[in-house]
Structure 1
Amino acid sequence: MLRSRYDVCTSAKTVLLVYAHQSAGSFNAAVKTAAVDELKKQGCRVLVSDLYEVKFKATATEDDITGAVKNPEHFCYGNETMLAWQEARLASDIVDEHKKLKEADLVIFQFPMYWFSVPAIMKGWMDRVLTLGFAYTLEKRYSEGIFRDKKAMLSFTTGSHETMFSSNGINGDMNVTLWPIQNGVLNYCGFQVLAPQIFWAPTHLSPEAREGLLEGWRTRLQGLLNEAPLAFPPADIFDKGKGFQLKPEVREKQADSPFGLTVGHHLEKPLPPQSQMKAGV
């Protein structure tokens, strides 16, 4: 029996779009709208956090806590917000995002790449919403993370052409650029990370070419929730008793491999090609 694209969300999947662009006339806005429309066609429930529209506070400060802090002389944001989360004393905007995250099966971060990373307002969302205790603990992170039953992905535009983000390009390998966000934020919290959707330099393209990019995005969205995630090493191949180093048997197994294990765990070998861009490499 052939499967319709509208069967993808028959189990009432919830998708959260965390969106960061100032202009409703931007290409990022068009990408966001295409995602909302296509996912709703599939029967998904779609939540949108439009960070600029709600003037989301980007800075992680003591103001994120209602009531007294435990140690005002040496304020530690992570410990204090974890305690505030446990005692239901976090700022209301953080609580609102927590509710959306708990409901979401998939989180899509939509943004223009700023300085090889996310815009400050989206980084603020990550800093404030991915609260210690709620999103991760020292015991629950990476493959053992709290959000291991959820998926997440980056969808973004660049100002530079794709060739400039190659291993021979002036900007360097995009796989290296993506590692801190995809591994250090998303995988760290346990998310199954889907391959990114990258719109290369849309401002340099014709309207027809930009529409072609949107159509490709709509096509991908039809099967997005069934995609295999990117591969990250499981936490149990690292020796907790020895500073979370790769276990000797893992290093030994990798000895004959022409590439390193990952972008971050490269074992002084060439980086595995496209490991942050495509699943199953």
Structure 2
Amino acid sequence: MSEIEVTDDDGLRSIRIARPEKKNALTRAMYAAMAEALDEAATRPSVRAVMITGGTECFTSGNDVGDFKARGDAMSDAASPAQAFLAVLRACPKPVVAAVAGYAIGIGTTLLLHCDLVYAGENAVFRMPFVDLGLCPEGGSSLLVPQRAGQLLANELLMLGDAFTPATALRAGIVNAVVPIGELMATAETVARRLAAKPPSAIAATKRLLRQSGAAPLSEHMEAEFARFAALLRGPEAAEAVAAFQEKRKPDFSRFNAAE
């Protein structure tokens, strides 16, 4: 079974992250498969809307640490697959709906900032733990979260990096609605099919216009974020975070000083 399942049905393309034994952790190959599915959806007239999900148990626990570790020196390039995927997601002219259940960690939360409509099940758990991993925010989150949530809540979510509830995600403008888990998939699919049934040129034009304001600053901001993210990923703090995770211990950052 593929770890990224892509199905088309009556104008709706569903992209499902299907790696439950690893809590849907994302590898380079999975990023590439999702980007390819979105790229193809953008150019295929029969696809009129896209839904992204991980099923009813887990959306995604973020990047696969083992996949990064196995690449050794290539870890400095670890942002590239995610960056390429997010660029394709943001550029997709078709409406994109996300259905989020269970864990939505790291990019599992930040990719939602680039979807058009997002629905969360009551069992969803969100977290942006970048600082705790010796990293900085990515995916435009350090710009988009303050814009949507306000500065104080954004500081809390991105600096403390604690897990937060669907209710907080709703307050932060990350999701459109919170629904009972038994209704999540049907709710998201119903909305996606409503969008698929609308005039495609009108939908594409509306999406383009909605995204035009601030598109250039966001693009530049994301480039700067990912550059800093990649630099931190090569640093000792991230190495300590990864080592602590693999050794099942609490990381010790006390010996590090803040870089200029």
- TM-score w.r.t. the length of structure 1 is 0.28
**When you count helix as a share of all residues, which structure comes out higher?**
2
The structure that has the greater radius of gyration is 1
